[in-house]
Structure 1
């Protein structure tokens, strides 16, 4: 008999397993995939750690969380400085003085702010949707070139149909600082994320290619409690309805050249380019390999059987999630956690913090 059956060998489940094992608990970790690590899994291709499920850049302002992850790996000093390609025009992200200078020819914060103030006047009152929120933040020009097309591709919906809060976390700064994140700590684990998960799971029994929901009764009988990190609606057989997600399709290519785009992340912000961005993986770890590996990302409408990535956090899905949460809260032996279990977009540091808090509560 195990103390905990952990469904999902991603970051949440692995942190919980590590903490439980430290407290001498017996742990079984299962995953339906053929590898551990969930969406932070790295695949080694031509000596390059490829982020198989999209770019994952660790960043946090929580010193405790930073110290926590550094016990498992040494982090490099990678700084996330993505760029945007709009029909061959290159702009810095996040929106900063380099972006404003390229867009309007302004050279100081006062000139940039005056330009934005002039353009945001078209929005009267509180922004009612994403389009109005974006224009009120950065003006019409930046919205049309760098937000509109990209967002429509990302969400598969017009910007006027999306809620305003999606864009509220968009960084806008009036300095020449290209660092996308404002957190104190940032980097990529040297050698990839797999080594972190492997160390967290030492001492746990791990079984891969196991479908929990297809073998639920048998697996539940093996443990006193279940930590479930899969989709909450799937757990209940979609009995109240299906929560919506956006999914991502990756087109990965090995290239016979040392450097393809000169940056780890390039967003393609015009609507006509079918992919949202290209990741060149070697730049995350300052690689000098003779070849390079790129991944084109295509945002797609999610359907059952696809990998769920981004919750569609509109009011309809929010209300449906709360109904499932009511059911989950009544469970005596099952704990729901992580981005799928809580139907929530989570940065990695927040996933770790959430798992640690649950450990403190339960163990």
Structure 2
């Protein structure tokens, strides 16, 4: 008889949700994480009494009322609406691309005028069948928006020229012909009052947790503690890169305390010109309408990933997706290991999608027992 029913590798949102639900159903869980804190990438650190999103801005949004009610059972959410702006060579534009953006760019007032301007630029480009991200973006929003607000930001984010990136990355580019600066279309949106740590702490308060514990350094010993493993790390690392390494992008964060009460007037500014090395600046107090005398900002730099670095998002191009299918086939033969989360599934998930996936995994496993 093993000590635990489940060893959960990763104390992020997927692992914590799984552990909470499994524990409710009487399963014994041990959660481990190689970091020295719970919460994964949604972890917040209190600095100058401000909840600083240590691994980039996280705004919860969903159309799934069940998931919205679920997260609200752990914390009260405020009414924060994500309305970032873009900065290009000292000019400020509203995001997502909407009538405020088009008015600033071209002086147009009506949706018809904006659509005509985009169509005029699309025709002038001569693009019929977009073959890469650059051509896809121009065919969707014209050359002005592409040049000022997409090209530099995207090339920084992915670390390669827009002409080398596949067109599908930007096919669902949000374009709005209304004067609406709400970035998301989802019905439910907000930030937990007091930060995301409250949610994870409540999920794990009855669970055994070991931090600063690397699964791969104690793999055999840790695996022997439980009947099954829920693995939320990199699937290719789990199999010792048997077919080669999948590609990821990494990030570097520079946090800074400033002696002012309001640095930029908004939570997120995207810097879209290529010459500025960071993609955005986050001012955390605005997520919770803070009135502190000081403020904390974070500059976010996309960087190339190599084995040993922290992976933040997968590079889901055709080559990597084919490689992932090989690992997925190995995973399908596992009887005592289940993969989940952004790294386990090699898929970019928003927070609500992580919770949906974790709840689904719990139901499948516990129904089969």
**TM-score (normalised: structure 1):** 0.99
**2:270 corresponds to 1:267:** yes
**2:310 corresponds to 1:281:** no
Partner of 1:101: 103
- 1:274 CA displacement: 1.1
Q: 1:123 to 1:70 in 2, by over 3 A?
A: farther
Structure 1 gap ranges (5+): none
In the alignment, which of 342, 347, 365 is matched to residue 362 of structure 1?
365
**2:248 corresponds to 1:245:** yes
SS at match of 2:320: helix
SS at match of 2:300: strand
Q: CA RMSD in A?
A: 0.7
Give the 5 Å matches for 1:19-38: 19-38=21-40
Query: Is the CA contact 1:123–1:135 (under 8 Å) kept in the aligned structure 2?
Result: no
Alpha-carbon distance between aligned partners in 1 of 2:206 and 2:27, rounded to the nearest angstrom: 10
**2:8 corresponds to 1:6:** yes
Partner of 2:72: 70
Alpha-carbon distance between aligned partners in 2 of 1:268 and 1:327, rounded to the nearest angstrom: 41
Query: Is the CA contact 1:134–1:167 (under 8 Å) kept in the aligned structure 2?
Result: yes
SS at match of 1:173: coil
**TM-score (normalised: structure 2):** 0.98
Partner of 2:239: 236
Q: Which 10-residue stretch deviates more, 89-98 or 131-140?
A: 131-140
- 1:169 CA displacement: 2.5
Partner of 1:167: 170
Q: Which 10-residue stretch deviates more, 222-231 or 116-125?
A: 116-125
Alpha-carbon distance between aligned partners in 1 of 2:62 and 2:140, rounded to the nearest angstrom: 24
Partner of 1:59: 61
Runs of at least 4 residues of structure 1 off by over 4 A?
A: none
1:260-319 Cα offsets, whole Å, 9 max, x none, are 000000000011111111000000000000000000011100111111011111111111
Alpha-carbon distance between aligned partners in 2 of 1:55 and 1:359, rounded to the nearest angstrom: 28
Partner of 2:122: 120
Query: Is the CA contact 1:123–1:132 (under 8 Å) kept in the aligned structure 2?
Result: no
1:50-76 Cα offsets, whole Å, 9 max, x none, are 000000000000000000100000000
Structure 2 gap ranges (5+): none
Q: 1:190 to 1:334 in 2, by over 3 A?
A: same
- 1:22 CA displacement: 0.6
In the alignment, which of 188, 192, 195 is matched to residue 191 of structure 2?
188
Partner of 1:306: 309
Query: Is the CA contact 2:127–2:135 (under 8 Å) kept in the aligned structure 1?
Result: no
**2:356 corresponds to 1:353:** yes
Partner of 1:91: 93
**2:155 corresponds to 1:152:** yes
